[in-house]
C-alpha cells in the first residue's frame, strides 16, 4: 500500500500540488491578468481540498476510499485534456482548472489516498504517511524544474496535455491494486495478529480497570469535545496561512529578490528535495517522540525562514539568507504531514477522514485569503514584504498552539 500510494503521489504532487507554482507566472503573463487575480484561481484550487473536506470525508468513511479515488482521477484527466485544447481565456481556465483538475486531484490525493493509508497503520502511522508525503516532495524536486523547462520550450498547454497522459497511463492503473482496509484481506493494522489493548500509558488518568481492554476509536462527537482537536485545528490553520501565500507565489517572490525564473524553479526543486529528506526523518521521529513537540519545533524553524526571506536578496550575504529560507521552509513544510498522523494517533481510524475533513474545511478560507493577499501586496507595492512578515507571525502562533497540545486518553470497548 505504501509503494502503490507513493507511486501515485509522486506524479500527482509533482504535477499538481507542487507543480502549480510553475504555472502561476506563465498563466499570469499568458492571460494578461494581475498577480492577485492569478493567485485567486490557484488559491481556490488549494482551498477546494478543504471546502469539500467534510462531505468527502463522510463519503470515504461510509463507502471506502477506492470508490472515490478512481472517478476523481478520471475527472482530473479529463480536465487536463480540456485545458490543453480548449482554454483560451481566464474564465475558461478558472472553470476547467477548478471544476475538473483541482476537484479531482483534491478528492483523490488529499482525502481518499491519505485516509486509505491511515487505515493500514497504528504504531507506524507517522512513518508510513511521511514516506507518502516525502515521495510527494520528491515529485516536486523532479517535476517542478522539468515542467518549467517544458513550458518555457513549448507551452503550458503542452505541459497540461502530458500531465493528463501521465495520469492516464500511470496513476489510473495503480488504483487496481489499492485496497481500503487490512480487514478486507483478513489482516490487522501494522501486520499485528491481535487487536491493541489498553495500557497505563493509553488511559492516562482514566479508569485503571480498563487496562487490558481492547482499544476503540473516538467518535466524531467525542473527538471535537477534546482540547487536542481544537488546538490541532487552529495550529493547522495558522500554519497554512503562514505557508500557502508564500508557496503559491514562491517563484514570483524569488524573482523580486533578484533570482531568475529558472533559478527560482531550481531553488523550489531543492526545497522539495529537502522536504523529502525532512519528511522521512520526521516521520520516523514522530513514531517515537511527541508529535506536538516536533510540530512546535519545526514551525519555529519555519518562522525563522520567513525572517531570512524578509531580509534576504540574491546578492552578497543575502544569497546565504535566501538559501537558509529554502532550507528552513523545506524542513518546516516537511513537518506539516505530522498533523494528520497526529489526528490518526489521537482519535483512531474509523472517523479519520471526517475529522480531517472538518479541519481542512475550517481553514479553507485561509487557503484563499493568504495567496490573494500576497498577490494584492505585490500589485500595490511591487514586492512581497508585507506578505512575508505576517506569514512569519502566523508561523510563531501556530508553533505555540502545537507546543500546548496534550494527547487525549485512548478509549476502550466496554468489557
Q: What is the mean pLDDT of residues 159-177?
A: 93
What are φ and ψ of residue 215, in 5° steps?
A: -70, 150
The torsion region of residue 32 among left (phi > 0), alpha (psi -120 to 50) and beta comes to: left
Mean pLDDT (the chain, rounded) = 87
Q: What is the mean pLDDT of residues 177-189?
A: 88
Q: What is the mean pLDDT of residues 220-241?
A: 94
Pairwise CA distance, residues 96 & 187, whole Å: 41
Pairwise CA distance, residues 96 & 101, whole Å: 7
| pLDDT computed for residue 201 by the predictor | 54
pLDDT at 206 over 60: no
**Tens digit of pLDDT for each residue in 62-117?**
888 888 899 999 999 999 999 999 888 889 999 999 999 999 998 898 888 878 88
- Ranges of H-type helices in 87-189: 90-96, 103-105, 113-118, 125-153, 156-166, 172-174
Pairwise CA distance, residues 107 & 73, whole Å: 9
Lowest mean pLDDT among 193-202, 295-304, 342-351: 193-202
The interaxial angle of helices 20-31 and 156-166, nearest 10 deg, is 140
Q: What is the pTM of this model?
A: 0.76
Q: Which of residues 161 and 193 earns the better pLDDT score?
A: 161
The torsion region of residue 383 among left (phi > 0), alpha (psi -120 to 50) and beta comes to: beta
All domains of the chain in start order, with CATH: 2-179+218-408 (1.20.1250.20)
Pairwise CA distance, residues 58 & 358, whole Å: 10
Banded pLDDT at 401 (limits 50, 70, 90): very high
| pLDDT computed for residue 295 by the predictor | 95
Q: Which of residues 184 and 367 earns the better pLDDT score?
A: 184
pLDDT at 56 over 60: yes
Give the DSSP letter string of 228-297: HHHHHHHHHHHHHHHHHHHHHTHHHHHHHTT--HHHHHHHHHHHHHHHHHHHHHHHHHHTTS-HHHHHHH
| pLDDT computed for residue 412 by the predictor | 85
For the beta carbon of residue 223, count every other beta carbon within 10 angstroms.
23
What are φ and ψ of residue 194, in 5° steps?
A: -135, 155
pLDDT at 231 over 70: yes
pLDDT at 245 over 80: no
| pLDDT computed for residue 212 by the predictor | 63
pLDDT at 176 over 80: yes
User: Dihedral angle at the C-alpha atoms of 370, 373, 374, 379, nearest 10 degrees?
Assistant: 160
Q: In 115-138, which positions are buried (b, 16+ CB within 10 angstroms) versus exposed (e)?
A: bbbbbbbbebbbbbbbbbbbbbbb
Residue that the C-alpha cell 484481506 belongs to: 185
Amino acid at each position: 500500500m505504501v509503494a502503490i500510494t507513493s507511486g501515485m503521489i509522486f506524479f500527482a504532487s509533482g504535477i499538481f500540488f507542487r507543480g502549480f507554482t510553475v504555472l502561476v507566472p506563465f498563466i499570469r503573463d499568458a492571460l494578461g491578468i494581475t498577480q492577485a487575480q492569478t493567485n485567486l484561481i490557484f488559491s481556490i484550487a488549494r482551498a477546494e481540498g478543504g471546502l469539500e473536506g467534510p462531505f468527502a470525508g463522510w463519503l470515504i468513511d461510509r463507502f471506502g476510499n477506492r470508490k472515490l479515488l478512481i472517478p476523481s482521477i478520471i475527472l482530473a484527466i479529463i480536465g487536463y485534456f480540456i485545458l490543453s485544447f480548449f482554454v483560451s481565456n481566464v474564465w475558461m481556465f478558472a472553470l476547467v482548472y477548478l471544476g475538473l483538475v483541482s476537484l479531482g486531484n483534491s478528492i483523490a490525493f488529499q482525502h481518499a489516498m491519505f485516509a486509505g493509508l491511515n487505515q493500514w497503520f497504528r504504531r507506524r502511522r507517522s512513518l508510513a504517511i511521511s514516506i507518502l508525503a516525502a515521495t510527494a516532495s520528491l515529485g516536486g524536486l523532479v517535476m517542478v524544474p522539468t515542467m518549467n523547462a517544458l513550458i518555457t520550450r513549448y507551452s503550458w498547454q503542452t505541459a497540461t496535455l502530458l500531465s493528463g497522459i501521465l495520469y492516464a497511463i500511470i496513476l489510473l492503473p495503480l488504483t487496481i491494486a489499492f485496497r481500503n482496509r487490512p480487514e478486507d484481506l483478513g489482516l490487522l493494522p501494522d501486520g499485528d495478529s491481535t487487536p491493541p489493548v489498553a495500557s497505563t500509558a493509553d488511559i492516562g488518568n482514566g479508569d485503571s480497570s480498563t487496562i487490558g481492554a481492547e482499544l476503540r476509536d473516538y467518535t466524531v462527537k467525542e473527538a471535537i469535545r477534546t482540547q487536542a482537536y481544537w488546538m490541532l485545528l487552529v495550529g493547522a490553520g495558522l500554519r497554512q496561512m503562514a505557508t500557502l501565500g508564500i508557496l503559491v507565489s514562491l517563484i514570483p517572490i524569488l524573482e523580486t529578490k533578484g533570482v531568475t525564473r529558472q533559478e527560482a524553479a531550481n531553488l523550489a526543486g531543492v526545497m522539495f528535495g529537502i522536504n523529502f529528506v525532512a519528511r522521512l526523518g520526521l516521520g520516523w521521529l514522530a513514531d517515537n517522540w511527541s508529535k506536538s513537540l516536533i510540530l512546535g519545533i519545526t514551525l519555529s524553524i519555519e518562522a525563522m525562514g520567513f525572517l531570512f526571506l524578509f531580509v534576504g536578496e540574491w546578492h552578497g550575504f543575502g544569497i546565504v539568507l535566501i538559501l537558509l529560507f529554502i532550507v528552513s521552509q523545506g524542513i518546516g513544510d516537511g513537518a506539516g504531514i505530522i498533523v494528520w498522523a497526529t489526528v490518526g494517533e489521537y482519535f483512531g481510524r474509523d472517523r479519520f477522514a471526517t475529522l480531517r475533513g472538518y479541519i481542512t474545511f475550517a481553514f479553507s478560507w485561509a487557503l484563499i485569503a493568504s495567496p490573494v493577499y500576497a498577490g494584492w501586496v505585490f500589485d500595490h507595492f511591487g514586492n512581497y514584504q508585507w506578505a512575508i512578515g505576517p506569514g512569519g507571525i502566523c508561523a510563531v502562533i501556530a508553533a505555540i498552539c502545537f507546543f500546548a497540545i496534550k494527547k487525549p486518553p485512548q478509549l476502550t470497548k466496554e468489557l
